[in-house]
Amino acid sequence: MKQVTSVAQLREAVAGLRGRTALVPTMGNLHEGHLTLVRRAREIADHVVVSIFVNPLQFDREQDLQAYPRTEEQDLDLLRSEGVELTFTPSTEAIYPHSMDVHTRVEVPGLSDIFCGESRPGHFVGVATIVCKLFNMVQPQAAVFGRKDFQQLLIIRRMVEDLAMPIEIAGVDTVREADGLAMSSRNNYLDPQQRKMAPALYHALQQTAEALRQGERHYAELEENATRLIAAAGMTPDYFSIRRASDLGTPAKSETGFVILGAAFLGMARLIDNLEVNL
């Protein structure tokens, strides 16, 4: 596996690849969920490039940026075991050579301003900017993202469509622990007691999904019930909402494709999750 740290090295390495290339952008601290993305990338492309970069532009709080776990050597070992050919591990200066304060930014209006975008102002501008930059640097034919970050996935798809990027965006189903908790690097922030409480968010999603399948369409009431369930489990709800899966719009009574989105605080962690319901 080749590791490069500069844009020039990256472009030179990519230029030597023949066939279809898939990019898996990550912030490191890799777990089984990330490796599932890598395996999907290998299925749809001849070559896999994985980036590891903790992007300062998408953090709304300096404390969160500093606390984000960095495990580069362990991450590289995992990627080697998965047969990844090329990794890109740039410095902040390599990505933002003129500093972030004056850097060109990419924004996807509307989708970026709700839910996680409202809770974390500027977050999705940071996400769209770094993903756009990585797409320009790697020039992949495909890129792979997890469906756990459903709002992010829609934003990236909209950006690719709006900017006419010839890139297939593949979404991979959420990978979960045995008790249903969505795998996330932020789960490392949970102490043993909090870890036992954390699956309550998923249970609330499951309960709401079943109600939709049974024909319940009082969306506000379902959201309120789920919020109470999450709070009763000892978590602090951020948001819980039933939306149209295609664009996060408010669903009609006749809707057949839903996504249920939830986020909650637990100790130092802010957990997010979702469930899609297709009738």
Phi-psi category of residue 112: left, alpha or beta, with phi > 0 → left and psi -120 to 50 → alpha: alpha
197 residue type, one letter: M
> Can you tell me the mean pLDDT for 195-224?
98
Q: Is 34 a catalytic residue?
A: yes
In angstroms, rounded to a whole number, what is the distance separating the alpha carbons of residues 279 and 265?
30
pLDDT, tens digit (0-9, with 9 covering 90-100), for 153-170: 999 999 999 999 999 999
Mean pLDDT along residues 197-210: 98
Predicted confidence band of residue 86 (pLDDT cuts 50, 70, 90): very high
Walk me through the domains of the chain, giving residue ranges and CATH numbers.
2-172 (3.40.50.620), 185-278 (3.30.1300.10)
Cβ-based neighbours of 163, under 8 Å, separated by 6 or more: 132
Beta bridge partners of 47: 21
**What are the pLDDT digits (tens) for 220-232?**
999 999 999 999 9
Q: Dihedrals φ, ψ of 25, to 5°?
A: -80, 135
CA distance 258 to 222: 13
Res 42 pLDDT > 90: yes
* Residues 251-279: tens digit of each pLDDT: 999 999 999 999 999 999 999 999 999 99
In sequence order, which residues have a C-beta less than 8 Å from that of residue 169 and are 6 or more positions away? Answer: 142, 143, 145, 153, 156, 157, 160
CA triplet 133, 139, 143: central angle to 5 degrees?
85
Q: Decide if 270 contacts 264 (C-beta within 8 A).
A: yes
Contact between 47 and 17 (Cβ < 8 Å): yes
The amino acid present at 188, given as its one-letter code, is: N
Average pLDDT over residues 60-71: 91
Mean pLDDT, the chain, as a whole number?
Answer: 97
Of 34, 47, 103, 203, which residue is the catalytic one? 34
Residue ranges at the known binding site for beta-alanine: 58
Binding-site members for (R)-pantoate are 58, 152
Please state the residue numbers annotated as binding site: 27-34, 58, 146-149, 152, 175, 183-186
